[in-house]
Amino acid sequence: MNVSKSSTLVDVASPCINICKMNEASGLCEGCWRTLDEIIVWSKSSNANKTAILELVEQRKHAQFDAGLN
CA separation for the pair 58, 64 (Å, rounded): 10
pTM of the entire structure? 0.78
pLDDT for position 69? 59
Give residue 1's pLDDT: 45
Contact 70, 61 (CB under 8 A): no
Q: What is the pLDDT, as a whole number, of residue 8?
A: 53
Query: What's the pLDDT at 65?
Result: 72
Q: Which positions of the chain have pLDDT values less than 70? A: 1-9, 68-70
